[in-house]
Structure 1
Amino acid sequence: MTALHTSDLTLTWPDGTPAVTGLDLGLGPGRHGLVGDNGSGKSTLLRLLAGELVAERGSVTVDGRLGYVAQAPLPDAGGTVGDALGVGPALRALAAIEAGSVEVADFDAVGEDWDVAERAEAALGRLGLHRLEPGRPLAEVSGGELSLLRLAGVLLHRPDVLLLDEPSNDLDGAGRERLTDLVRGWPGLLLLASHDRVLLEEVDDVGELRRDRHGATSLRWYGGGWSAYVAAVEAEQDAARQAATTAAADLRRERRDLVRARTALAGRARTAAKAEREKRVPKIVAHGRRMQAQESAGRYRGLHEDRVEAARERADAAEERVREDAVVELDLPATRVPERREVARLEALVPAYGDAAPLDLVLRGPERVALSGPNGIGKTSVLRALTGELPPRSGTARVHVPWRMLDQTRSGVLDPALSVAANARLAAPGTEEERLRGSLARFGFRGRAAERTAAVLSGGERLRATLACLLLGEPAPQLLLLDEPTNDLDVSGVRRLVEALASYEGALLVVSHDEAFLADLDLHRRVEVRRPQPS
C-alpha cells in the first residue's frame, strides 16, 4: 500500500520567512491535486517530501519508491537526451561494450541494467518523444520536450509515489494530452501541484495550501477535481462575505454602545460631583457613593470595551476568510506605439534550433500576436533571434523599438541578492517611491512582501516580480516578447498577468500553449510556425 505522511513539518527560510509551519499530511493511493496562491509553499512542500530540503522540525514518511519531477532547474544544456533521462553514462558504456570495449568501468556503469536502451526508448515513446535520440544534444531540444524528458527519466525507475510540480509547463496540446492520460491512469499515489485546470479535473481530490497573515500554513482538502473545488470555494466565499458584513455591523454597534456608555457615565460623574460640591449629602456618604460609582462605572465600561474587542476579533477573523481579489491597473503611457509604426520584422527566418520552415512576419503598432506550433519546432529560437541572443540559421530579424524579453527561465532580470523593491528601483531609477510601491502592490507585493529577497521567491512570485520590473523599466518597452509566461502561475496569478498586459500599450509577441490565457489576451492574430513542406 503506497502512502505519504508528514507530522509537524516545519521549515523557515534563512531570512526568517516561514516556508511551512507545523504541517500534518496523510495521503494514500489515488490522484491528489495541490493548489494555492504563489508563495503559499507548494513547491517547497514537494521538495521537502522528495528529500531535496531538510525540515528543521517534523518528519516525512514515504511508503513505496518515490519519483519527483521538479519545475526547475532545466537539465544541463551541455548534456544529451540520455543525460536528461538519467541514463546517459549507462547508454554510453553500453554502446562502448557493443563496440568491443572490455573496460571494467564500462561494465560497472551498465551494472545489471542491460535493457536500459530499450527502456529509454519505451519511456520516450510513451510521452511522444520518438524522434529524440538518446545522444541528441539538449541544446537542440525545446522547453516542452525538456519537461517531458524530466518526466520520462523519472518514469524509467517505475515509482510507486509520484510528485509532479507544474508538469504541464511548456507543453503543446499533444504533450498535454499525453500528460493527462498519464495522470488519469496512474495506478499508485500521485501528488500534482499545478495551475492547469484541465489537468486538475483528473484528480480525486484537491488540497488547498494557504498561509495566513501570521505566516502559519494550513492544508484543506476538497473532494473531486477542479470544478468541484471551485464550486466549494465559491460557496465558502459567499458565506465568508456575509459573515464579514455581519461582523462589521456588530463591531459598529458595539462601538456605538461603548460611546453611549461613556457618555452616560460621564453624566453621572458630573451629577455626583455637583451634589458633593453643593453638600446636598454628608461628605462621608458622598465619598462612599463616589467610590461605588467609580467601581460600577469601571465594570460597566470594561464590559463594553470587552464587547468591542470581541467584536473586532470576530470581524478580523471573518475578513481574513474573504479572499483578496484586487485588480491590477497600471498606467504605462510610455509603452504606447503609433498604429502604423513598424516594430519588428522577420524575413525568411529559419531559427537556429528546431525544424521550422522560413518565417516572414511584420509587427506594426500595438499588435498582439501569438506564435503557435508544436514543441521542438523552434518558437523560442525565433524570439531569441529577435533579441540577437541566438542568430538564425538563415534570414534576418530586426527590432526597431525598445524591447524586453521574458524567457522561460526568468533569468537576467532580478538580482537574487536584492529585495523585490530594490530590483524595481534598479529597473526604474527615476520613478517616485510611492508610485513604484503602488505598482508593486498591484502585482501582489504589498508592504513587507516587497522587501523579500528575490532568491526566496516562489516560481510564480518571481515571474510577477520580473514582469513588474520589465514593465516599469527605463526605457519603457514598446515590444514585449513573452515565452510561456503562465508557467508557474496560479489561477489568480494568470488573472493578474492578463490585467497587467491589458494596461500595456506596446506590441506583444507571445509563445504559449495556454489556450485560456491566449483567449484572454485579445490577440490580433496568430502566426503558425510550420515545418517545411516535403519536396
Structure 2
Amino acid sequence: MVILQNATYIHPNKDVLFQDLQFTLNQQEKIALIGHNGVGKSSLLKIIGGYLPLNSGILSCDSTPYYIPQLFDEYATSTIGDTLAIGDKLKALNAISNGDASIENFDILNDDWDIEERAIEALSSWGLTEMHLDQSFNSLSGGQKVKVFLAGITLHRPELILMDEPSNHLDTKSREQLYRLILDSQASMLIVSHDRTLLNLLELTAELSPKGIQRFGGNFQDFSEQKDLEKNALDQQLQNKEKELRKAKDKEREAAERQNKLNARGKKKQEKAGVARIMMNTLRNKAEGSSAKLKSVHQEKIGGIRQELHELRLNLSDLDQMKFGFEQSATYAGKDLVDVKDINFGYAERLLWSEAVSFKIHHGDRINIQGDNGSGKSTLLRLILKDLEPSNGIIVRAPFSSIYIDQDYSIIQSIKSVYEMAESFNQSGLQEHEIKIRLNRFLFGKETWDKSCLALSGGERMRLLLCCLNIASQAPDIIILDEPTNNLDIQNIEILTAALNDFQGTLLLISHDKQFISDLRIEESIDLNKN
C-alpha cells in the first residue's frame, strides 16, 4: 500500500529531519506512529499524503491517501465543501441546476448527483447538523473542524487514511465515535497520536527516531512493556557501571597509598645508608615517575568507565533525568476551599445548564470536570476563579492561591527569555546559579537560557512551567488544568503526570484523556452533561 525507500527530507532551513528512511504500510494494516516532538512524524504524514516533497528517495502509494491534519491554517479561507474536497462538484451541480449544461460541468460532477445529500448526511453523523457546505471552515470550533475531516472518511471511503492527532479537541462522546470508526474500518491507517486509548486500538506500532523507523508487533501497551524491559536493563547497566567506577576509584586510592608508603620507606633507607644527594634526587625523581605512571594508568581506566557511564546516561529518558520536588502549599488537608451552591450562568433567561450546579472542593481533592464540547467546563472554571460571577446561586470561597494552565501554557510569557521567565518565579531570593541549576534539572541547558519563550514547543513550555513552580517559594493551593495534554507528545505527558503526582495540593482538571485521568489517580468528577 505505502512503500518508502531511502527517503530523505531536509527542512528549508537546511536541517535534515530524516535520512535514508525505510518504511512499509501493507494492505489493511493499522499502525500507530509514535516518537518525540520534533522527530518528524507530522512531516512524514504530509510526505505520504503528497503535501511535502522528498529531497531524495522513493515513495510509492497504491491509492490516494486521505489526510487529516493536526493544524488547519491552510483552510482558513476555505468553505466546508472545499475542505471536504467537493467544492468543484458542488459548483458544477449548482451550475447545472441553474441551466448551465456545459460538458465541463458534467465532467466535473461525474454523475455524482447526490454528492450534496451524502455530504450533509456524513456531517450529520458527526453531530454537525446545522452546518452548510458553503459555510466558512474557519468559523468552526477546533472540535468541529476535526469532525468535518472525519465526516470526509464517511463521504469518500478511502482505502488509505493518514491521521495527525485526530482526537485533539474532541470530547469524550466524539472520541468514542472515532474509536469505533478506527476499529470498524477496513482501510489501511497510519495514525500519529498521543491518545493512549486510541493507540491501544492499533495492532502495530512504529517508532520514528533519529535512527529511523522501528516497527513493533502489538499495540502501544505492548510497546511500552518492551520499553520498560529495556529501561530496567539500562538501569541495571548504570548501577553496575557506577559500582565499577567506585571500585576503580578505591583501587586508585589504595595503590597511591601503597606507593607513597614504599616511597617513604625507600627514602628512609637511603638516608640511613648515606646515599649521596645527587643519587637521592635521582631516586626521588624515579619514585615520583613511578607514582605518576601508576596514577596515569588508574586515571585512564577511571576515565574510560566515566565515558561509558556518560554514554549510558544519554539513553535515559527525559523523565528519568528530571527532579521535581514541589514545595508544598500552606493549606492543611481537607480544608474547604470552594462551596458551590445551586449556581447557573447565562444571559437574561437563557441559562447554560438545565439544572443548577452544586459541589464542594476540599484541599487535596483531585477532580475531573466532565462534559461534551460546549457544556460549560471552561466557564465553570472561570466561575470558581471569580473571573465570572454566577447568574443564580452563590459560590463561597476560602482564601487560596491558584495557577491556571491551559492547553497552550499561555502563562509562559512569549516576550521573556527562558531564564527571565524562571527568574520571575523566584520569590525566595535564589541566587542566579541556583536558578540555572533548576533549569538544568528540567533539561534547559545554558544554550537555552537566552532563548525566547516564543520559540518553545508545547512540551518545552510545559517543562519550563514545571521548573518555574519548582523555583517558587511555595506551591499553589490549587492547580487548574484545561486540556493540558493536547499539544504534548507521550513522553511529555509522562513528565507532566509524574510532576502532578508529586504535587500534594488540589487538582482541578478538564481532560478527555482517559489514561491521563487514570494515571493522576482522579476518582472524583463533576459531570456537566447531567446539568
What TM-score does the superposition give when structure 2 sets the normalisation length? 0.73
Moved more, 220-229 or 91-100: 91-100
| Gapped regions of structure 2 (runs ≥ 5) | none
Q: Hey, what does 1:361 align to over in structure 2? A: 357
Give distance in 2, aligned partners of 1:458 and 1:19: 19
Give distance in 2, aligned partners of 1:379 and 1:217: 42
Structure 2 counterpart of 1:26, from 23, 28, 41: 23
Give distance in 2, aligned partners of 1:23 and 1:387: 52
Quick one: structure 1 residues 7 and 303, their matched pair in 2 at CA, closer, same or farther if it must change by over 3 Å? farther
Aligned: 1:208 with 2:227: no
Q: Hey, what does 2:368 align to over in structure 1? A: 370
Give distance in 2, aligned partners of 1:431 and 1:66: 56
Aligned residue identity for 1:250: E
TM-aligned CA deviation for residue 174 of structure 1: 3.6
SS in 2 for 1:529: helix
Kept after mapping to 1: 8 A contact 2:197/2:515 = no
Kept after mapping to 2: 8 A contact 1:327/1:499 = no
1:132-151 matched pairs, under 5 angstroms:
132-135=131-134, 141-151=140-150
TM-aligned CA deviation for residue 59 of structure 1: 5.1
SS in 2 for 1:333: coil
Aligned: 1:248 with 2:246: no
SS in 2 for 1:482: strand
Kept after mapping to 2: 8 A contact 1:19/1:44 = no
Structure 1 counterpart of 2:254, from 251, 260, 264: 260
Quick one: structure 1 residues 342 and 100, their matched pair in 2 at CA, closer, same or farther if it must change by over 3 Å? same
SS in 2 for 1:192: strand
1:211-290 matched pairs, under 5 angstroms:
219-266=213-260
Quick one: structure 1 residues 356 and 202, their matched pair in 2 at CA, closer, same or farther if it must change by over 3 Å? same
TM-aligned CA deviation for residue 344 of structure 1: 6.5
1:369-518 matched pairs, under 5 angstroms:
369-375=367-373, 377=375, 379-380=377-378, 405-408=404-407, 410=408, 412-416=410-414, 418-426=416-424, 428=425, 430=427, 432-433=429-430, 445=444, 452-465=451-464, 481-501=480-500, 509-518=508-517
Give distance in 2, aligned partners of 1:47 and 1:144: 21
Query: Residues 218-246 of structure 1, C-alpha deviation per residue, up to 9 Å, x if partnerless?
Result: 65433211222122122222222222111
| Gapped regions of structure 1 (runs ≥ 5) | 211-215
SS in 2 for 1:222: strand
SS in 2 for 1:518: helix
Quick one: structure 1 residues 194 and 112, their matched pair in 2 at CA, closer, same or farther if it must change by over 3 Å? same
Q: Hey, what does 1:198 align to over in structure 2? A: 197
SS in 1 for 2:71: coil
Q: Hey, what does 1:165 align to over in structure 2? A: 164
Kept after mapping to 1: 8 A contact 2:428/2:473 = no
Query: Residues 511-535 of structure 1, C-alpha deviation per residue, up to 9 Å, x if partnerless?
Result: 322233334353544232358xxxx
TM-aligned CA deviation for residue 145 of structure 1: 3.3
Query: Residues 281-302 of structure 1, C-alpha deviation per residue, up to 9 Å, x if partnerless?
Result: 8999999988987887666554
> How many residue pairs get matched?
516
TM-aligned CA deviation for residue 249 of structure 1: 1.5
Give distance in 2, aligned partners of 1:389 and 1:59: 55
Quick one: structure 1 residues 200 and 9, their matched pair in 2 at CA, closer, same or farther if it must change by over 3 Å? same
Structure 1 counterpart of 2:310, from 292, 311, 316: 316
Give distance in 2, aligned partners of 1:218 and 1:465: 29
Give distance in 1, aligned partners of 2:437 and 2:291: 46
Query: Residues 239-278 of structure 1, C-alpha deviation per residue, up to 9 Å, x if partnerless?
Result: 2222211111222222223333444445555667677777
What TM-score does the superposition give when structure 1 sets the normalisation length? 0.72
Give distance in 1, aligned partners of 2:224 and 2:344: 46
Quick one: structure 1 residues 300 and 506, their matched pair in 2 at CA, closer, same or farther if it must change by over 3 Å? closer
Q: Hey, what does 2:71 align to over in structure 1? A: 72
Give distance in 2, aligned partners of 1:306 and 1:174: 62
Q: Hey, what does 1:213 align to over in structure 2? A: none
Quick one: structure 1 residues 343 and 332, their matched pair in 2 at CA, closer, same or farther if it must change by over 3 Å? farther
